[in-house]
């Protein structure tokens, strides 16, 4: 699959993977900053953004997509950043193709299976009768009935685009993502990777707990865990300066 992507800067490759319901556009500001040091590739994963839709959505397929992307762009070695679902794609990639990675940053994602916790987001998505919605403000008003956090609403609204004049559509394949949610939330395979890894977690997030730390070290022995203060799951958006400093401090050492 030929993945849509944005490119910033020059230098050693740095590949960035967004999370569930996200896109490469979410990383524009940080990618510009990273572009002062690296050649940054911000990718839309399958069934997201401007990349193709497919009936298959698994970590195996996304890992293969990423491997093909490396080959297509002549990337022989890269740093890899992945947030949430993108972080789990990154970990799968490190298990399968460690020879292609210099270092990896996993943003607020553990290796364990997660319980279903997107019900309110899916409820908001399904509440939008797109053929009859005429503005983004109208869409946000409907979303607010299901999703309290304004930041999450704005995050989702970035997926809406004007298919034609007066007709909104999703840039994410909602039907397939919802159907494959169990697999998206599944645990990482128990295979050790020696890729140097930085696990970043938000202080206010519950994705990586204290009791998860030993299991992270078991599968990624050459890893460290760092906490971003005053940040939740979207730590790169909530505390971009701290996130940037943590990534650069790790990758440049």
This prediction has a pTM of 0.96
pLDDT number for residue 40:
98
On the question of pLDDT at 90 being above 90, the answer is yes
pLDDT at 181: 96
pLDDT exceeds 90 at position 94 = yes
Residue spans of the domains in the chain: they are 5-114+188-251, 119-179
- The reported pLDDT for the residue numbered 185 is 97
* Distance separating the N- and C-terminal Cα atoms of the chain: 34
Encode pLDDT of 194-224 as tens digits. Answer: 999 999 999 999 999 999 999 999 999 999 9
Identify the pLDDT of residue 117: 87
The CATH number of 5-114+188-251 is: 3.40.50.1820
Catalytic residues: 84, 233
Query: DSSP string of 173-190?
Result: -HHHHHHTHHHHTPPPPS
Both tokens of 241, joined, read 């300066």
| Cα 22 from Cα 31, distance rounded (Å) | 15
Structure tokens at 110: 């553990």
Confidence tier at 191 by pLDDT (50, 70, 90): very high
Residue 25 buriedness (CB in 10 A; 0-12 / 13-18 / 19+): middle
Mean pLDDT, rounded, of the chain: 96
How much is the pLDDT for 118?
87
List beta partners, residue 132. Answer: none
166 has pLDDT over 90: no
For the cut 90, the answer to whether the pLDDT of residue 253 exceeds it is no
pLDDT exceeds 90 at position 151: no
Residues 6+ apart with CB under 8 A from 227: 200, 201, 202, 203
The residue-averaged pLDDT of 71-87 equals 98
Write out pLDDT tens, residues 19-58. Answer: 999 999 999 999 999 999 999 999 999 999 999 999 999 9
pLDDT band at 226 (very low <50, low <70, confident <90, very high): very high
Asked if the model's pLDDT at residue 149 lies above 90, the reply is: no
């Amino acid at each position: 699959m030929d993945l849509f992507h944005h490119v910033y800067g020059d230098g050693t490759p740095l590949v960035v993977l967004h999370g569930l319901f996200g896109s490469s556009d979410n990383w524009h500001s940080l990618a510009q900053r990273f572009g002062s040091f690296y050649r940054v590739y911000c990718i839309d994963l399958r069934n997201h953004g401007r990349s193709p839709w497919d009936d298959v959505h698994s970590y195996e397929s996304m890992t293969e997509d990423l491997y093909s992307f490396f080959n297509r762009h002549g990337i022989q070695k890269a740093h890899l950043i992945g947030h949430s679902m993108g972080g789990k794609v990154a970990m799968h990639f490190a298990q399968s193709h460690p020879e292609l990675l210099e270092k990896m940053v996993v943003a607020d994602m553990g290796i364990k299976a997660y319980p279903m916790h997107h019900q309110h987001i899916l409820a908001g998505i399904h509440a939008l009768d797109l053929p009859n919605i005429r503005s983004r403000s109208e869409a946000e008003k409907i979303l607010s009935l299901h999703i309290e956090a304004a930041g999450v609403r704005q995050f989702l609204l970035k997926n809406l685009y004007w298919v034609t004049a007066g007709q909104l559509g999703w840039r994410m394949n909602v039907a397939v993502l919802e159907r494959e949610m169990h697999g998206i939330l599944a645990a990482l395979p128990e295979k050790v990777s020696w890729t140097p890894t930085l696990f970043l977690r938000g202080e206010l997030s519950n994705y990586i707990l204290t009791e998860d730390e030993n299991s992270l070290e078991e599968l990624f022995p050459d890893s460290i865990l760092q906490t971003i203060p005053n940040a939740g799951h979207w730590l790169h958006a909530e505390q971009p300066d701290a996130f940037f400093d943590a990534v650069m401090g790790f990758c440049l050492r």
